[in-house]
Structure 1
């Protein structure tokens, strides 16, 4: 199985990338990280060959002092030619907490990402809907049409969807090409297998936003521990290797604010799971 994927048919990226959500703070409501720590992680990620960074303008510390996009721009701009930066729009954050954005909110959000990242065009923009589970039965057509128009203007190269079901994917594809889908999925939470299958059939990237069981999930199950021992690896490394073994369209974007954890995650690229390993993982 190839270690690379052609995103949208024209951007070749490694299937193991980096998620920027944890750069500003380790957890929601937690203290802000030292910005220099985030810069060190980003520099090391690029040194180790990361060519796909997933971020969002709303990835920031609780007090607003540290922004992921600002760290990315300050550390990596001018960007390497091969680096693909993906971002997401949709949620609106205010004093009462996040709410689902309206179509009118999307252009300002895209423009905010362009400005904070220092780009003239965004490689990939996901429309994020709902919270951690797809809002079944809710139409996204009007919102996706706004992003499709911004793509036609040249502000966006490729479009993606986040937190959607197979019906949403079909609805969006009738409007404009979809290059990637980002849903909650990992070895301990496989509810979105139907969406993965739909992506595989269409050659669309499937990019789990909790590849290591984020959001409180526990992935330290007996199968992972057993396989990790067999490979002298960590359970997180095996969880990433399992994800990449599922399908040629499966990508992973584990996030961290630690250089050591970054290096551990990226080392999962060298782990080849056997049929016995996969049977133990279920």
Structure 2
């Protein structure tokens, strides 16, 4: 009985470690990068974030982050996002707390219905705007012209640097905007159709266009070579461009370069076409991960 008991304890400890992850990358539309300790690497599904991490997305990039208390953060293309602090609470007994900076680009914060009653203390800084979240759904963006936060559901408190004080927002579809280099404007309302058709799609994953997920089961082989230098050239160029390439020996004297965990066959095919067009990769072979 000793070995099954030890195995059971190990599984319990592993489950606890997974549950305690403060923020996890659930899905990625590449290209995207993680910068940690001044080193950049391609962002992978399943990666656990730490305080101080910086995420970047490239053209067409998207990222989906899962938080332990049941919320999600979505990032759009050409985004720069920094995690200032995190804890690993699930919001049941004590609040999940985090502070993040949206330095550039679009983001969305959403909470699952079953998790709305959990405790959370989240501060989101969108360039010059700070929003304090206690349980809500909001969308925001920082670009060259303005910083904006739109409340979709719940309530938030917002402030603009230099203006002093916080404003409460509790009306759905109200938004707070600050033109660059100018004072914030009065609260205004936006049409639901504009949110649904123009704003929200900027942060949604592009299904069928190269999404990789923690449970993805498809592989894209983009290069195969007997020469190690050629193999490493493709590996390095893909990773520098924000694609999480992997190298594996095949046979005795050959190697393949691939991208893994793609969500569907269509995602793998679309990514293969994209990489051929942008980086000139020699292959676009789609395989189930089991092969």
Q: TM-score, normalised by structure 2?
A: 0.31
Structure having the higher helix fraction is 1
Structure having the higher strand fraction is 2
**Using CA pairs below 8 Å that are at least 6 residues apart, which structure has the higher relative contact order?**
1
Larger radius of gyration: 2
